[in-house]
Amino acid sequence: MARLMVTGVNKRYGSTTILSDIDLTVSSGEVVALTGENGAGKSTLMRICAGVLAADSGRVRADAPIGYCPQEAGLFELLTADEHLVMFGRGAGLGREDALGRGHRILAEFGYPMHERVVVRDLSGGTRQKLNLAIALLPDPAVLLLDEPYQGFDRGTYVNFWDHCRVWREQGMAVVIVTHMLAELDRVDRVIELPAHPSRAHVRRSA
């Protein structure tokens, strides 16, 4: 069953075409890697799919809740992890206790140091990214958009992340991962490469 459908998406910044006539369909229980050179529009496409950025034309349709983990963690420097969970949980329709309970379980799975009073500005880059990922998973999404989500992870957490991708697939999530880690592409079902000079995206390899 298709969870995310992108049809004919175009995006320009001024005179520069970033995305041209992009089609993408991701089904339940499928992990898709989005690759391409810097400037190919990978992050732009993810932001459009997440509803953060409007396309100039084309259509994005998701038949289930979306979780989005941007490349740059969208966190607030003076808030703690718990304060982030409560705030973003409220946006997902979760009460305080549900948001904290679910968020703590997710953070524990990625080895987050649960120091309630530590604010984001005092966290390492990898620890910030764990919180960023937990926020994306907080609403229990059926579509998960991950833009290089392992930035700053140590080796153990990085391996743990890919193990979770396998679990998410088994749970029926539709997962899209922007990645440059070509050695890990055997862990995904399909690879979609965005060309350096925008045209229709094409499948480079299928499992």
In angstroms, rounded to a whole number, what is the distance separating the alpha carbons of residues 61 and 75?
27
**157 and 122, same domain (yes or no):** no
User: Do 57 and 10 sit in the same domain of this protein?
Assistant: yes
Bridge-based pairing of strands 143-147 and 66-69 is parallel
Reduced to 3 states, what is the DSSP secondary structure of residue 113?
A: coil
Residues 125 and 148 in one domain: no
Provide the strand spans (E) within the chain. Answer: 2-13, 16-27, 30-36, 57-62, 66-69, 143-147, 174-178, 190-194, 202-206
The pLDDT tens digits for 110-153 are 999 876 688 999 999 999 999 999 999 999 999 999 999 988 89
Q: Give the CATH number, domain containing residue 41.
A: 3.40.50.300
Q: What is the pLDDT of residue 205?
A: 46
Confidence of residue 207 (pLDDT cuts 50, 70, 90): very low
**Do β-strands 202-206 and 66-69 pair in parallel, antiparallel, or remain unpaired?**
unpaired
On whether both 58 and 147 belong to a single domain, the answer is yes
Write out pLDDT tens, residues 153-194: 999 999 999 999 999 999 999 999 998 877 778 889 999 999
Distance CA 160, CA 110 (A): 7
